[in-house]
Each structure stands twice: as structure tokens, then as C-alpha cells.
Structure 1
Amino acid sequence: MIQAFGLTSNPRKELPPAVDDVSFEARAGRVTALLGASGAGKTTALRLMLELQRGRGLTYFRGRPLHRIAHPSREVGVLLGDVPGHPARTVRGHLRMLCAAAGVPVRRADEVLESVGLVSLRDERLGTLSRGMDRRLGLACALVPDPHTLVFDDPAGALSAREARTLHGVLRAHAAQGGTVLFSTADPKEAAHNADHVVTLERGRVVADQEAADFSRTRLRPRVAVRSPHAVRLAALLAKEARAARRSVEVVREGGNRLAVYGSTCADIGESAFRHGILVHQLADEIGDMGPGAGAVPAARQQETDGVRVRDVERPGGTRPSPAGPPHPASADSVETDPLRSPGAVGPRPGGPSSPPADAAQSAPDDGRPLGSPGHASPATDAATDTGADGSAPGAALHRAPGPRHALAPAAASASASASASASAKHFELREAPAAETAQGQRPFAVLVPGTAKSRETASALPPPISVRSAPSPLRPLRYELRRAAGVSTGFITGAAVLVVSAVTAVVLARVGHTPQARLLAAWPRELPLPPAALGAGLLGALAFGDEFRHPALAADRGTVPRRMGLLTAKLLVSAAVGMVLATLTVGCDAEVLRLFYGQELAEVPADWPALSAGWLGLVIGCAWSGVLAAGVFRSTTAGLAAVVAVPVVVVPLVQKAWEGPSVRTAAGFPMRVREVLLTQWPFGGERYVADVLRLVVQPVGGAMTLSLTALLCAYLLMTLRSKV
């Protein structure tokens, strides 16, 4: 169950907030639709609920806010926009990686693939999927941790009718198993056909909170679909009879032999066709769209007769029949100008024949629930009658003027409410705002806090602020990182390119001559700042974080990948292993190519190979770690690779200049002095390797690499701690 209280986004300069004081409920076992036109605030409301955007408000998922849930992905499955993921990753590989991140068995990937109908496309790349298959994959990603709640933003957007039915069928099945489903849409018919409950937003405010049946009856436009080979003749006949009977009937030709008749019934149309001998192939009731001019003030007035909404034409003299008394002058202000209400679907006004009296609404028992919150009956405190005290039209009471003076609140009656209050629970009534709302421009948060009246009195006057949370850290970081690195061919292509470039460079250097044996095996000319193997390792390290920020795969619902120490440790371990493999393969391939071209002489192993190997591995692994840390700090692959190149180009000259300056003491003999301090013999001559490592550190390149890694690690730790504060 989802309970949202007082969701309010931060103001946008001079513009009003995109979402202002939105409160509603989405119950378990039901599908709830968040309906609104483009710009109504649907996506902003969802982002505030998921703590992806700053603002104010409070959202409970089964009684707990999201920031108090240990593993949010196991409670809420979300898809906002397209499926985030590397376009070269396969569907099955992407789901297996998410299984590792969520800490669920890998077989769960095959289960959700079967449930959403993607088994035949499991080896397809994400970049080749159609829009419908992409939506199915997004649903599968949300279902991987088996969450209780699903939150989707316009899931059926740009889908065909068949694909939309399939997707909504899966959502309905999830709700039938006891889960909670909330989706946003801009199509009223989609909300009416696929949801059990509809919450309507307009300009960032809740204007309706209804059951789907009540929504279809009061806010959509019922029509009769007619198919006849004599459609033109039938349309003219219906219009003629409507004029004779002074009824408002709108006949719309939808192409071919199809008609859409608004304001009539199947019985009336069938009788007219039978009397005049017109053949009819189809005659059925439908829920139509909002119709032309739904957002404008209609020229005709509406009246409800025996449950069928029709439009009465204007009488001569500017009067119209009133269901509550004698006719009075018609006024444009007396019609509610809700863009979601069509001329043929206007509900009863407060004070009309279907509205309960004010004292009956106020006599509903107080169950301690906040006024205006879902499930509580809101009394209609405005004196909204058909005729005012001065005999004027009720336009002043029904006109929705912007401002804090009036507020719209749902009148959803509880089980213990009276019969009259229950009758008004299906409509939204205009009520007088409390004094606190008049002073501050919105309802105080005290009325949004569940509990007794005494506890609400001590609540804050405003909803609590919403702080943006980053994505959750993977529960199995090392397993996740291995599947992430092996799931895309970029690493293998980069490694193959490094081996080819190194072999060609080694052959060219041997041809030119004057290159030491160690540099020849590493394919490292003096003119280049780094060898190909080090550059390749740095690029792979930068891709470890950079691609995740470009294609966030850790959490399809939470945005970018967070900076976490567990994830960083896994990435450093994997990048170090990749760097060691790449360094070893490069030297081996270069030696084999040199032996093939020039004989065994150029492929001989140097005498001091232990120290050279340690330095070579340290250089490649250091470049890989520099790429990982820089990409994690700057959230960019380019920045990670730039940090790798900056070490020999910028940092090494600075360190060398400082190291050789006349005012600085040199560290000559530092390894020997450290060896004397240890005074212990390590097994298998370990002290010799320690001395070799220290000798590398005091070199300009080693010192520059150590300095860069230390600075990047400190920056990463600082940003990690800053995000936790």
C-alpha cells in the first residue's frame, strides 16, 4: 500500500511548483492510475515519492518511508522512462547482472523473462529492442527482486494496442497476487479500462480521487458506437429527431460506415433506425474520449436525467431548466471549467439534487484520519446552492479561481460514514480552506499526519523535506562487477586492440633499434608517455564507472550509480586482475612476435626480470586504478582516461622537478635504509621484493602514480562521506 501526504515540489523561480499538496492512496491488490495531461505533475509526483527529487512531503510504502527500507528494490520496483542499460548488453545478461545486484538467485532472470514473454529475445542486444520489447524488459527489471509495489511512469506510452494490453495484463496479474500497482498516464480511456482507482491531477493538484467506475461515469464521455451501410442517412435522421425533440445529440462520423453518437442511447438509436428501415450492423455503448472542446466553457448547460447525461440547448431568453427550482439566468461562471470534464459528462454540483445537505456531511463521525486525506469524508463547507442569497447564479461558489482561498478535497467516505455522506463520496466538492491555509497558501501538515487529533496538533506546519537518495549499493558487489565487465564486448575488443598495437610497435622499435630490451618487450617508445598496455588498462578502468553513469544498470529505478566503498573495492579488484592479465599477455605476445621476426636474441628475458616485472605490473595496475577512481569522482569515462594520461604528462614532470630541486633533500639509498630497519629475513626472499617495490615508489613515475592514486582516493572518499551526510 502506498500513502502519499502533502507532496510539494520546490518552486521554479517565478513559476508555481509543479506539484502542490498532492495526497492520495494506492491500495494493495489494486491497480491505481495517476491521470493527468502533459505538465500536470505526474512524473514529478512519482519522483517525489521515490525521493529522486527535492521537495516536501511524506510517502509510506506499507507503512515505511523509502529511506527507512533496507533494500528499496525489494520493496518497490520502478521504471521511469526507458530501460537504463548498456545498448550492447544482452537481455539475459542485463537481468543476470541485476540479479547479482539485488542478491537474488540467477535463475530469477529466466523466470521473469518467461513471465513477460521475452524468452525468445534473451540473446538480443538492448540497443536493438523495439519500443514494446523495451517496455517488457523494463517490467522484467522491476520484477527481478520480486517487489511488493510497482511504480511505472507512462508504461504504455507509444505502444500498440496489443502491446499495451499485454503489459497491463502483467500489471493486473501482479495486483491479483496481492501487490500494489501505480502507473501514470495521460489517456483517460487507458486509466478507465486498466485501473481500479483513478487519481486525477491538474496543474499539480489532485482534482479527483475516484473508483474507475465512477471515473468513467462522471469524467468520461459515454457514447454509442454505430456501424451501418447507410451511415450518412442515419446521421441526418438522428440530428433531425434531436432538433425536433429539443435534445442535444452530437453525431460524429469516424470514417467509413462508423458513427459515434454522444448524448443518446442504444435504445433510441435502434428504434429510430427500425422505424425508418435503416440496416444497422453494430450498436454498442462505449466510453469515448473527452471530445472536442472539452477544455472550454460549453455554450449549452448540462442536466442529468435518469442516469443519462445529455446536453440541453439554450432556451430563448437566456434561461435554462433547473432541477432544483424555477429557471434562472444562465451564466458562464456557473459551469465548472474542468478540462477533464466534457460537456456530456458533468457530475452534480454541490447543493444540487445529488449532493447531501451540509449538516449531513458534517455529521460524519471523526475516525481520526486527516481531513482531505484518502479515505476520509470532507465536509462541504461552502454554501454552494443553485441560487445565492441575492438571487444570482452560483458561479461564485463553483468557479475555480486560483489562489489559496479555496481548495479541492476528495470526499471519500469511510465505512462508518452516514448514507448521505457516502452518496457524495464519489464526487469532489469545493470546501472552504482553513485559516492556516489562507495564511500560508497550503494546508498545514498537521492535517496530513495520521493519528489522533492531539498528535496532529504537535506536528509541524509544513510537510517534512525530501532529500534525494542515490541508488542502492549491490548486495553482491564482486559478483555484480564480474557480470558487468564480462557482459559487454568492449573489454575484449579493447584487449585485442592493445595486443595488436603492442606487437606492431615492438616490431617497429626492433627495426629502428636503439631501444632497451625492457622497453622493447613492453612496446614502450621513449616518445610516448605510456605504453599501449597501460593506456588500455586505464581505459578499461575508466569504463568500469563511466559506462555505469552513462547507462545506469545498478538500479533501473534510482538513477545514477552511487559511490560506495564495497562497490569501489570490487571494481578495484576486478580492474587489477584485468590489468595483470593484460600486462602478462602483452609481454608474452611481444616476445613471441619478436622471436618470430628477428629470432631468439630479441626475445630473451632480462636478468633483473623480478624488479622489471614488479614495475611493469605496478604501472599497468596503477593506470587501471587511476581510471576507476577518476571516473568514479568525475562520473565520466573521458575524465578517467584523462587522469591516466595526466600522470606521465603533467604529474611526472612536476614530481621530477621537485625531486631534483637544489633545496630538497634527495631520497637516495631509501630502499637500503628501509631494508636495514626491517632487520628480518622474509621467507623466500620477500624482503628483496619489498625493496624492489620501494625502489619503484621513489622513482619519478612511481612517485607520481602513487601521488595521483592517493589524491583520487581521497577525493572519492570525501564525496562518499559527503553523500551520506
Structure 2
Amino acid sequence: MLQAIGLTSNPRKDVPPAVDDLTFEAEAGQITALLGAPGAGKTTALRLMLELDRGRGITYFRGLPLHRIARPAAEVGALLGDVPGNPVRTVRGQLRMLCAATGVPVSRADELLEGMDLESLADQRLGTLSHGMDRRLGLAVALLADPQTLVLDDPAEGLSPRDSSWLFGLLRDHAAQGGTVLYTTSDPKAAARTADHVVTIDAGRLAADQSGAEFARTRLRPRVAVRTPHTARLAGLLGREAREGHRSVEVVAESGSRLSVYGSSCAEVGETAFRHGVLIHQLADETGDMGPSGETGALVPGAVGSEPFDPGPSAPQPVHPEVPGPDGSPRGASDQDHGPFDSVGSAADAPVPAARSALPELQSLIAARSELSERQPMITPLPARGPIRPLRYELRRVFGVRTTLLVVSAIVAVSIVLSVVLARTGQAPLSHSLMAWPALLPLPPAAFAAGLLGALAFGDEFRYPTLAVGRGGVPRRFGLLVAKLAVSGATALLLALITAAADAGALRLVYGGDLGDLPQNWLSLVVGWSGLAIGCAWAGLLGAGVFRSTTAGLAAVLSVPVAVVPLVQAALAAPAARSVAGLPGRLRELAWGWPHEADRWLIAGLRLLSQPVGVALSVSLGALLCAYLLTGLRGRARW
């Protein structure tokens, strides 16, 4: 069950709120349609329910608000707009990545591919899907964790009749299994045809709360559509004959030369026009939409029969959302208990006999209702949750597209060419030839590619926010950061080793001899080369995470050799009053059992860190990590 109580959006300056004190229920085992014209506030109401927008009110999903549910994806499945995702990712890859994010087995993706009839499109890219297939994928994402409640924003928009029939058949099956379905629509005929319960809103306020049968009976009245240049004359003739025959006929003037005749038939209207020589351009049976207030146009004076139209004993009374009912709830709302706020500000049980004498009491009721609205809890959007299985999610995100493979292939080819050219000129030492690092470049190609892959790790999250739909950012979770650091570091290390091995093999193949042999200090070179690649990857990752852009991540990588290294060189060139000589021995005194063999490794590490590039990378990574953590803490404090 879904219970929305007092939903009110934050109004903008000189503009009323898009949703104003909206209260309704969606029962389990039923399909509930939230009906309203475009701009009535339907999407805003859904975003308030899902705690995506700021406002007032509260929404209970089986008795708990969304922010108190441990696994929201297992309780609520949502579809708001298009499915976010990298357009080059496959349908199967997208679902498997989201399986890791929601913590469900990867086999669930294959089950949904079969259930959504997407098996033939499993290897198709997201950017090539049609609108109907994209909607199927959106429903698969919403159903991934098998939620109890589905919240869908106009799911049938733009679908063909066949796809629309399939969609509502799926929603009917979900409701038949005890699930709750809430969807928005602007088509009253579709709501009457597919929904068990229809909640109508107008200008953000509750206009009617009816069962599907009652909605179809009271709002969708059969009518005869007539188009004629003599609307006034025909309306008068139809009204006069209805009074003479003691029939209930209502004629409503629509826009232009159109009339809507209620309580009659095409044959009766056509015979009347024929007998009196009235020209008819159109005559057809239709199902009339009476609108939220039950009116479609202006009633033609004198065009109503002697017996007024009677919609039936179960027709709802006119709804006035600004005036509460006897129990303090909006008129037209369900009589069931909506939650702990319904008892506040209740009115007297007896109805007011006359509007003039009841004015003071109505004013007190309105004041009580305003006070109740102010007491509603604030809706504060919470930061998006990170993936439940971050390492598995990050691996599927990185290797689910061809970007990583293309970057590695291109960089290996460029590195081989540069290495051969540098060895031919003989102007670079062997270590620089193996790394393909000419003096003109601030970084070797492999280190720059590692920084690019690291920047994409966060840049793609902000560009295609799969984890943060509608929340404006990527979740700053420690587990997600560690997973990204681990995967980007491992990818950078693999890239560095592949390029170094490829360069050595190319040099031996082209020039022969011992040019491709490893130098004596190969171990320190491998450690330094690996540290440079991993440091660039992490600098790009943290830079993109702080500034929310892949370009900013690349700028952070390039700023190390261009801006930070010269500053470090200037600092190291300054005269030093003291030396760190003998540091391993002093550390051995502090750490009991320090092995003598570790001195060599410690000295080698210190030598690497004392290099300008090593110091610059260390300083840059420390600054970026602090900035990332500070921005994450500031975001949590703001919410």
C-alpha cells in the first residue's frame, strides 16, 4: 500500500506550488492512475513521493517512508522519463551492471530479458533502441529487485496500441500478485480502461478520488458530437424537443462550431436537424471527457430538457480542495485512514446548512487546514545510495563498454612507434625509450591513458548518472571510491606493464642486439613506472570526482607535470639544513623486529618519492583526496 499525505512542493517566487496538500492512497493489488492535464503536477507529485524534490508531506510505502527503508529498490521500482545509461552499453550489460548495484544475482537480468521479450535485443546498444523497447528496458530496471510498489510516470506515452496493451497487461499481472501500481496519465479514457482506482488532480490539488467504475460512470459520459454552422439554432431545437418529450438532454457548446449533446443519440439529433433544415458537417457518437470538475464547455441557455441530467446516486459531489471535509480531509478523498495526520484539525460532524451563516466556521476550518499543512514534515532529498556490491559494479561498468579496449589498443600502438623513434635518434636513455617518453611530452602516452581511464571512471557517472537518477550527482560513498581506486589502479598497472613489454619487444625486433634487454636497475624502473601510471589514474579519478567532469580529471592529470613538478623542483633545489640519512636505522629502532633486508626496499621507495614527479603526484593526490572527502562531507551536512 502507498499512502501520500499532505504532499506540497516548494513554491517559486510569485508562482503557486505545483502540488498543494495532495493526499490519497494506492491500494495493494490494484492499479491506481494519477490523472491530470499536462502541467497539473503529476510528475512533481511522484518526485515528492520518491523524495527527489524538496517540499512538505510524507509518503508511506507499507507503513514506512522511503528514507527509512534499508533497501529502497526492493520496495519501490520507479520509471521517470528515459532509462539513463551509456548509449554504447548493451541491454544485457546495463541490466547486469544494475544487478550488482541493487545486490541481486546476475541471473535476474536474464530472467527479465526473457520476461520483457528483450532476448533478441540483449546485445543491442542502448542508443539504438526504439521508444517501445526503451520503455520495456525501463520496466525491467524498475522490476530488477522485485519491488512491491511500482511508480511510473506516464509509461504508455508514445507507445503503439500493441505495446500499450502489453504494458498494462504486465502491470495487471504485478497487481494480481499483490503489488501496488501507481502511474500517471493525462488520458481519462485510458485511465478508465486500465485502472482500478483513479485519483484526479487539477492545478496540484486533489479534484476527485474514485473507483474505476465510478470514474467511468460519472466523468466519461456518452455523447453525440455535432459540428454545424448553426449551433445556437440546433441547440435550441434539441432543447425544445427534449422538453416536449420529457427527456433529459443537455447540449454543451464546444469551441468553434461544435456541440456536445448528452442524453440523446445520433439518430435523434440527425432527425431533428433534417426536419428543420439545419446543415450538419459532423455527427458521431463519442465518449465525453467531463474534465476534473465535470464540465467540457459552456451550457447553451435553453438547450436542456425539462428533466435535469441525473448522473446517478453514486456520483461524487463537487470537489473544493481548499475547503476540508467534515473529518478534516480534502473532499473527494478516500474515507479510509490515511495516517497519523488525519486526526489533526478535524471539523464538526454536522454539515453547514447555509453558506452565509457558515462563513466563520469555514474560515476556522481553512485556518486549521493551513496549520495542519505547516505541521507536515519536510521532504528533504537524500543523497543517492551507492551500489551494494561496488567492486562488481565497477568491473561491469568499466569492461561493459569498448572504451577501455580501444584506449589500451591505441596507446600501445602509439607507444611502440614513439619507442622505436626515440631509440633510433639515441637522444633518450633506455628507460625513456622503454616508456616511450620523449622530452617534449609532459607525460608518457601510457601514463596519460591511465589518467584518461581514471577520469572516465567518475566522468561517465556524471554524464550517464545510472546510480543517481534525478538526484543531480554521484553518491560519494567510501565503498564506491575504494572500488574505483582499485579498478582504475589495476587497469593502469596492467596498461603500464603491457606497454613496457610491447616497447621492449618492438625494440628487440627492429634493432636486435641487447637493446630490448632489461637494464640492471629494472626493478626500481618497474616500480617507478607502475607508480607513475597508478598515480595518474588516481589523479584523473579524484579530479573528475571533485569537479564532476572528465575534462577536469584530465586537467588534474596534466597539472602534475606542468604546474606542480616545477614547484617541487624549486622547493627541492633550495638549500637543506638537515638530511634524512640514517632513516632506516632509526626506523628499525622504533619498529621491533625490522628486517635488515627491508632497508634496501625502503631506500628505493624513498628515492622514488624524492623525485620531483613522485613528490608532485603525492601532493596532488593528497590534495584531491582531501577535496573529495570535504565535498562529500559538505553534501551530507547540507542534506
> TM-score when scaled to structure 2?
0.84
Cross-structure match for 2:12: 12
Question: AA paired with 2:153?
Answer: D
The Cα shift of 1:682 comes to 6.8
Q: Which residue of 2 aligns with 1:43?
A: 43
Q: Is 1:555–1:561's contact at 8 Å kept on the other side of the alignment? A: yes
Counterpart amino acid of 2:494? V
Residue 146 of structure 1: aligned partner: 146
Distance 1:222 1:561, change over 3 A: farther
**Structure 2 counterpart of 1:434:** 364
Alpha-carbon distance, 1:483 to partner: 1.0
Amino acid at match of 1:60: Y
Q: 1:132: Cα distance to partner? A: 0.8
The match for 2:106 is: 106
CA distance in 2, matches of 1:260, 1:640: 64
- The percentage of aligned residue pairs carrying the same residue is 55
Report deviation, 1:557. 6.9
Aligned counterpart in structure 2 of residue 313 of structure 1, from 295, 298, 303: 303
Displacement, 1:367?
Answer: 7.7
Q: Structure 1 507/211 Cα, relative in aligned 2: closer, same or farther at 3 Å?
A: same
Q: Secondary structure at the match of 1:19?
A: coil
Report how far residue 140 of structure 1 moved: 0.1
1:488 aligns with 401
TM-superposed CA distance for 1:553, in Å, is 2.0
Q: SS at 2:34's partner residue?
A: strand
Matches within 5 A, 1:286-301: 287-289=287-289, 298-300=298-300
Give the aligned partner of residue 632 of structure 1. Answer: 545
**Alpha-carbon offset, residue 242 of structure 1:** 3.0
Give the letter aligned to residue 22 of structure 1: L
CA distance in 1, matches of 2:367, 2:592: 81
How has the CA–CA distance of structure 1 residues 106 and 369 changed in structure 2, closer, same or farther, with 3 Å as cutoff? closer
Q: Which 10-residue stretch deviates more, 471-480 or 673-682?
A: 673-682
Structure 1 Cα separation of the partners of residues 336 and 163 of structure 2: 46
For the structure 1 residues 442 and 220, does the alpha-carbon distance in structure 2 shift closer, same or farther, using more than 3 Å as the test? farther
| 2:375 alignment partner, SS class | coil
Match of 1:585, SS state, is: helix
Gapped runs of 5+ residues in structure 2? 243-248, 276-282
**How far apart are 1:190 and its partner, in Å?**
2.1
Offset, 1:117 = 1.6
TM-score if structure 1 supplies the norm length?
0.74
Deviation, 1:45, is 1.3
Alignment match of 1:526 (pick from 414, 439, 445): 439
Q: 1:105 to 1:555 in 2, by over 3 A?
A: farther
Letter in 2 for 1:517: L
Superposed CA offset, 1:422-476 (max 9, x none): xxxxxxxxx93535x438x82514xxxxxxxxxxxxxxx5211121112222111
Pairwise CA distance, 1:118: 1.1
**Distance in 1, Cα, partners of 2:340 & 2:222:** 35
Supply the AA of the counterpart residue of 1:72. P
How far apart are residue 522 of structure 1 and its match?
Answer: 0.2
How far, CA to CA, are the matches of 2:513 and 2:352 in structure 1? 100
The residue type paired with residue 245 of structure 1 is E
How many residues were matched structurally?
A: 606
Give, in angstroms, the shift of residue 544 of structure 1: 1.0
Q: Which amino acid aligns with 2:483?
A: A
Q: Does 1:245 align with 2:241?
A: yes
Are the equivalent residues in 2 in contact too, given 1:614–1:692 (CA < 8 A)? no
Match of 2:632 in 1: 720
2-structure distance, mates of 1:373, 1:554: 39
Distance 1:323 1:152 in 2: 37
Corresponding residue number in structure 2 for 1:444? 372
Shift of 1:220: 3.2
Report the residue type matching 1:313 in the other structure.
A
Q: Secondary structure at the match of 2:182?
A: strand
Asked if the contact 1:671/1:695 (under 8 Å) is kept, the reply is no
1:11-160 equivalences under 5 Å are 11-160=11-160
Rounded to whole Å, the distance in 1 between the matches of 2:599 and 2:476 is 36
Distance 1:186 1:433, change over 3 A: farther
Equivalent residue number for residue 307 of structure 1:
none
**1:317-716 alignment to 2 at 5 Å?**
381=351, 383=353, 432=362, 434-435=364-365, 437-438=366-367, 442-445=370-373, 461-554=374-467, 560-662=473-575, 665=577, 669=581, 685-716=597-628
Distance change in 2, residues 1:249/1:593 (3 Å): same
Once residues 248 and 614 of structure 1 are traced to their aligned partners in structure 2, the CA distance between those partners, rounded to angstroms, is 89
CA distance in 2, matches of 1:670, 1:698: 15
Match of 2:188 in 1: 188
Uncovered stretches (5+) of structure 1, i.e. residues with no partner: 253-258, 277-282, 302-311, 325-340, 390-396, 398-404, 407-430, 446-460
**Aligned counterpart, 2:279:** none
Give matches, 1:218-233, under 5 Å: 218-223=218-223
Against the structure 1 CA distance between its residues 69 and 123, is the aligned structure 2 distance closer, same or farther, given a 3 Å change threshold? same
2:281 corresponds to 1:263: no
Q: Which amino acid aligns with 1:47?
A: R
Letter in 1 for 2:37: A
Partner of 1:401: none
User: Using a 3 Å threshold, how does the CA distance of structure 1 residues 53 and 261 change in structure 2: closer, same or farther?
Assistant: closer
Task: State how far apart, in whole Å, the 2-side matches of 1:497 and 1:368 are.
Answer: 61
Q: Distance in 1 between matches of 2:89 and 2:338?
A: 52
| Distance across 2 between alignment mates of 1:383 and 1:350 | 17
Change (3 A) 1:55 1:708: same
SS of residue paired to 1:615? helix
Q: 2: CA distance between counterparts of 1:175 and 1:154?
A: 17
Per-residue deviation, residues 170-198 of structure 1 (Å, max 9, x unmatched)? 11111111011111122222222221112
> What residue identity is the alignment partner of 2:557?
V
Task: Tell me which residue corresponds to 2:207.
Answer: 207
Offset of 1:676 from its aligned partner? 6.2
Q: Is 1:167–2:153 an aligned residue pair? A: no
Counterpart of 1:438, as a letter, is: A
Which secondary structure state, in structure 2, belongs to the residue aligned with residue 442 of structure 1?
Answer: helix
CA offsets, 1:237-275, max 9 Å, x none? x989736514445799xxxxxx997414569669979x9
Separation of aligned partners in 1, 2:335 and 2:385: 43
Deviations 1:491-533 (A, max 9, x none): 1111111111111111222232210100100001112111111
